Chains A and B, each alone.
Chain A
């Protein structure tokens, strides 16, 4: 049995102290604060009140389910679209493009260096009435496409565009974990291309697919800028409601309740998604 002084002196533990403290203050702390505020009376700014579930009741009875619904639906659509779009790209990057894959990696990663909002405003210029697309079409063909911006598809476009790297790179990693010899073996045993895909490639690249989907889902669920900048007033996503509650409405407890509900929703979905999936098992490490 190790004594406490031995235990505390383990190099691994000591090395984990700085990041542990940082996470405690920067990650766990705010979460706890949000949780505590969600039980304070409406429109209070201190934590020394009598706890109440009033905020939860009011949120449930109001129409917040609409913004929850939009956020959920758009997150699911974004994940689905990105899977379809990035799977072929990831396949090409791991199997076909060879040295060009590096160039593609750089090109995909480069926009991440520019603020998301600035990039979204770039799309506004493209999609705007009399903007780049509409204006060019009017000039060249005499056709007008003025209704592009401030639509749900524009929001989806923004989400897909912004979160593409978060799906692509995990997929690339997932696919590079499938050895060519396994596919050759499957083919040698009579499998067609489609059968190789279902029996070998897909299950073995599943960790990458799941991680990419999870990242994109969580990021889209909490996204704000895409619906505000490209969607205008057409839809309100839940992150928008949370922001309004904390800023415009100055109602921290209500914002906290919405945050807690969003976090819980994410956790429940992650739990159900990963409950039956053992990543180590999927790739045969156990």
Chain B
């Protein structure tokens, strides 16, 4: 990501209440110009409320939203230089593809011929053949509609383009393709993109920075690398995907103690300020069988089951007392040869665990 000064879009103490319910609590955020910023959160985390406030369809109960330093709290959506691609796309069914793309320009009073020219340019940018111009919306597939919605928003020439989970209704392969296309278009147009999604995986692919939202609070903001390797708490780590989580407390230098069983594990000195909380170990850094025997942190268990995840295989190992379940992943072309029901050793290196205090 290029270094650009922060403060293009700024949120200061944004709070939104619906009666007694607090949908957003003291959200502070600074988005820079040209950035691809993604807000991620589970359903009910307040991300839709936040994007509606950002677009101008709703206003915050308290706090400020500033664009280029001007507070825009009470500027209605139709007077903001921003635009959104809706979750359901909200394409106009009674208009052709061309009329949809040209809508903002028609509203702005742009001449018909200029409109048409620009619409055709945008269709080309979004890899849609020019004969789509006169097609009707319901003649277009899901992926095509996606591109039309994006073209319509780009035709508005917004300062910031917002996305409200537009890919969530598409099948996996198409979603993957469009995620990458979106990132390409971000690069080609140089516009500021603010994207919301419930999928951290989707966020990882596209974003310069990610903000994690839960229960109306912004929990962590960082690059995809930050979020992945340095989660601030258990929620962020678990939101990333399946992880092994263990409640632990500090037990002398370079060691933590399992709060439940008292087992000791080695950690690196990164955990210096750590007192108590959780140890996170990703399934893909775990070793199983012979490779685990030489590691400082080992657990004896029984192989319970294995799951094919495509490029990887996941093994579920249950501890001897049956209390804990551990997940271990290996590459699909390097499988573990044990059978279900057999005792196995699993383990991890001291530097492969992440400690979070909450």
Contacts and interface: CB of A to CB of B under 8 A. Distances in A.
A181 B88 contact: yes
Interface residues of A, number: 23
Contacts of B104: 189-190
Contacts of B107: 186, 189-191, 195, 199
B169 to A, nearest CB: 14
A56 B25 CA distance: 80
A181 to B, nearest CB: 4
A18 interface: no
Contacts of B88: 179, 181
Nearest to B90: A185
Given A189-B83, A204-B94, A284 B156 contact: no
Nearest to A192: B78
B138 A286 contact: yes
Given A181-B88, A284-B137, A284-B138, A189 B93 contact: no
Contacts of B55: 188
Query: Size class of B's contact patch?
Result: 20 to 34
Interface string B87-118: 01011111000000001101110000000000
B97 to A, nearest CB: 12
Is chain A's interface secondary structure helix, strand, loop, or mixed overall?
helix
A185 B91 CA distance: 8
A27 B79 CA distance: 57
Nearest to B137: A284
A286 B108 CA distance: 29
A54 interface: no
A204 B56 CA distance: 24
Given A284-B94, A286-B138, A188 B103 contact: no
Nearest to B81: A190
A164 to B, nearest CB: 28
Contacts of A181: 86, 88, 90
Nearest to B156: A189
A138 interface: no
A217 B195 CA distance: 50
Contacts of A53: none
B77 interface: yes
B103 A189 contact: yes
B152 A189 contact: yes
Contact of B78 (A188, A200, A282, A285): A188
A286 to B, nearest CB: 7
Nearest to A177: B93
Given A184-B77, A188-B57, A190-B107, A179 B90 contact: yes
A283 interface: yes
B103 A199 contact: yes
Contacts of A282: 94
Nearest to A195: B107
Given A189-B107, A190-B108, A184 B57 contact: yes
Contact of A284 (B78, B82, B84, B93): B93
A176 to B, nearest CB: 15
B58 to A, nearest CB: 10
Contacts of A281: 94, 136
B138 A190 contact: no
A188 B57 CA distance: 8
A185 B86 contact: yes
Contacts of A187: 57, 76-78
Nearest to B76: A187
Nearest to A284: B93
A109 interface: no
A182 interface: yes
Interface in A166-204: 179, 181-182, 184-192, 195, 199-200, 203-204
B93 A283 contact: yes
Contacts of A192: 78
Contact of B90 (A182, A195, A283): A182
B86 to A, nearest CB: 6
Contacts of B57: 184, 187-188
Interface in B146-190: 152-153, 156
A186 to B, nearest CB: 7
Nearest to A193: B78
A118 to B, nearest CB: 43
A186 B76 contact: no
Given A199-B103, A284-B136, A286-B138, A188 B94 contact: no
Interface in B251-286: none
Contacts of B86: 181, 184-185
Contact of B77 (A188, A195, A200, A283): A188
Contact of A184 (B79, B90, B138): B90
A186 B103 CA distance: 8
26 contacts: A181-B88, A184-B57, A185-B86, A185-B91, A186-B103, A187-B57, A188-B56, A188-B83, A188-B84, A189-B83, A189-B103, A189-B153, A190-B104, A190-B108, A191-B78, A191-B103, A192-B78, A195-B107, A199-B92, A199-B107, A204-B93, A204-B94, A281-B94, A283-B93, A284-B138, A286-B138
Interface of B: 55-57, 76-79, 82-84, 86, 88, 90-94, 103-104, 106-108, 136-138, 152-153, 156
Given A188-B57, A189-B104, 20 more contacts: A182-B90, A184-B57, A184-B90, A185-B84, A185-B91, A185-B92, A186-B103, A187-B57, A187-B76, A187-B77, A188-B56, A189-B83, A189-B107, A189-B152, A190-B79, A190-B104, A191-B78, A199-B92, A203-B94, A286-B138
